[in-house]
Amino acid sequence: EPEVTQTPSHQVTQMGQEVILRCVPISNHLYFYWYRQILGQKVEFLVSFYNNEISEKSEIFDDQFSVERPDGSNFTLKIRSTKLEDSAMYFCATTRGYGAGELFFGEGSRLTVL
């Protein structure tokens, strides 16, 4: 069964440091997303990405966040200067097309900011 792969599974970083979270989407998928989940809270939408550009982003996705697909395979989320409140589980998700269908989620990357 195809799967979305995320690395690292867990990253610990100091406040103010840059972090890059990586996602390998399923090969024929066209839409990519990042979600986050702070411990004990809801899964929150961050950003969606289609055709090499951001199609939608939430209020959480401020100037400290960026996404790109640098080599046509990895889909990355960068946090430029991490804050304590960025500590969360970050989920990558991908889907083949628009309309109806399954969104495939990765296992998540746990980010701990000290």
Q: Which residues bind another protein (CB under 8 A)?
A: 31, 33, 35, 42-45, 48, 50, 56, 58, 91, 93, 95, 97-108
Q: Is the dihedral of CA 57, 16, 86, 26 positive or negative?
A: positive
CB nearer to another protein: pick between 20 and 89? 89
The answer to whether residues 40 and 95 touch, using CB atoms and an 8 Å cutoff, is no
**Strand 5-7 versus strand 53-57 pairing type:** unpaired
Cβ contacts of 24 within 8 Å, gap of 6 or more = 4, 5, 6, 73, 74, 75
Q: How far is the CB of 84 from another protein (least distance, A)?
A: 22
Q: How far is the CB of 58 from another protein (least distance, A)?
A: 7
Residue type (1 letter), 48 = S
CB nearer to another protein: pick between 65 and 91? 91
CB nearer to another protein: pick between 15 and 30? 30
Q: How far is the CB of 33 from another protein (least distance, A)?
A: 7
CB nearer to another protein: pick between 11 and 50? 50
